[in-house]
Amino acid sequence: MASTLISRASRRFLKHSFPSSGLAIQYPSPSVFNPLISTEPSISINRNFYPSLGPFGQYHHQDSEFESFKTVRSLSNFQFVQHISTSPSSLKEGSEGNKNQSGNVGKANISWIDLYLPKQVQPYAQLARLDKPIGTWLLLWPCMWSITLAATPGQLPDFKMLALFGCGALLLRGAGCTINDLLDRDIDTKVERTKSRPVASGLLTPFQGLCFLGFQLTLGLGILLQLNNYSRVLGASSLLLVFSYPLMKRFTFWPQAYLGLTFNWGALLGWTAIRGSLDPTIVLPLYASGVFWTLVYDTIYAHQDKEDDLKVGVKSTALRFGDFTKEWITGFGIACLGGLALSGYNAEIGWPYYAFLAAASGQLGWQIWIVDLSSRADCNSKFNSNKWFGAIIFGGILAGKLVS
């Protein structure tokens, strides 16, 4: 009712205030302006009447009558403003937008899982983190490094083996996430970033999670059986690390080191899948470099949750290192690059490898140097950038093997 009276009053005021002003005002047919069913009233400006109109159509607002027109026109749109400002969803979105602008990570955006998968399948896809492929990449790169290092000099790596390990990384990473969510469901409910996970939020029961884990491990076994006997035993032995890793944060400040031992097992497995045995002079430095690399990126990642970890009582290298984090991860980065250089030297790899290694050094140094450990968004961004570090090293090994 109030908006109707204001709208009528504004039109009456405009009619008497601008009889020959050069402003042609056309109102929509409804008596009350409703933005949901109408467009804005069209306004045509007489440029001769308003010499202050800029070359690109911008207004310099030098005319007092034009200011009066703007004021009244704002009142006539009162209904539109009232509709937006009192919408609960708009208030919520605005609050989340402000939170994101302050550098904090807000709620996750809708992913392809929500758009394309059936609702019954969505919780399982989220449990396996299919919408967050960074974990699969970080697990896969050491495998691809090792497979390529084991290739015959001057030839491309075995593409069938690369594909098998790609599928295996996707399945094993998903299984690891399922195990983690089942064991950590009591902790995840207390941490802002993890409380919406399927098991913690109640979308899936622990029994459903266990059944899904059995499905994932069965598919993984099918891939493992494609490898030689040596690799089957070595691959199966990694399950001890996979199952025990989620418990480490309860007992030690070094769960990131334990994750490194787990995530880089493929550096051992990839070589044996091609050669049928291990060469310690090549594979062990490669494995160690992967562990140090994990200490870099997962310590950065752990800084996202350090406040929640303190409240819950779990441990991490982010809490262990505190203000000296950058000094620690710089040391780990140097150790990682040294291990990669030693592995390549022992493998007698060609010179392009070292050029790529220099580029990877720059990428790793960049993320350590500029990461803002107090910003969750920046920590997450730098963590995700490690897929490029892995890709650069892979490109270097491939180029070095082709010319060696």
> Which string of DSSP letters, residue by residue, matches 3-20?
HHHHHHHHHHHHHHH-SS
Pick the closest to residue 203 from 123, 107, 122 (CA basis): 123
- Greatest alpha-carbon span in the chain: 94
Q: Are 45 and 53 in contact (CB under 8 A)?
A: yes
3-state DSSP call for residue 265?
A: coil
Q: Are 62 and 89 in contact (CB under 8 A)?
A: no
Cα–Cα distances in angstroms (integers) from residue 118 to residues 121, 122, 125, 209, in the given order: 5, 6, 10, 18
Round to whole Å and give the CA distance between 265 and 148: 15
Round to whole Å and give the CA distance between 289 and 283: 10
pLDDT of residue 8: 52
Round to whole Å and give the CA distance between 276 and 327: 39
pLDDT of residue 49: 37
Strand partners, 43: 25
Cα–Cα distances in angstroms (integers) from residue 155 to residues 152, 374, 398, in the given order: 6, 46, 9
The first and second tokens of residue 349, run together, are: 């790899």
Which alpha helices (DSSP H) does 121-265 contain, by range? 122-127, 134-149, 159-183, 185-188, 198-201, 206-224, 229-244, 255-263
The first and second tokens of residue 87, run together, are: 């919408």
HSE-CB at 361 with a 13 A cutoff on CA atoms is 14
Pick the closest to residue 26 from 13, 37, 15 (CA basis): 15
161 contact partners, CB below 8 Å, separation of at least 6: 147, 270, 273, 274
List the chain pLDDT tens, one digit each, 404 residues: 444 544 454 444 444 444 444 444 444 444 333 433 333 444 444 444 333 334 334 434 444 443 443 443 443 443 333 333 333 333 333 333 333 433 443 344 688 998 999 999 999 999 999 999 999 999 999 999 999 999 999 999 999 999 999 999 999 999 999 999 999 988 888 888 888 899 999 999 999 999 999 999 999 999 999 999 999 999 999 999 999 999 999 999 999 999 999 999 999 999 999 999 999 999 999 999 999 999 999 999 999 999 988 988 999 999 999 999 999 999 999 999 999 999 999 999 999 999 999 999 999 999 999 999 999 999 999 999 999 999 999 999 999 999 98
The first and second tokens of residue 99, run together, are: 């939170």
3-state DSSP call for residue 44?
A: strand
CATH number for the domain formed by residue range(s) 118-403: 1.10.357.140
Round to whole Å and give the CA distance between 167 and 161: 10
The first and second tokens of residue 309, run together, are: 């970890």
pTM of the model as a whole = 0.73
DSSP state of 305: S
What end-to-end distance do the CA atoms of the chain give, in Å?
83
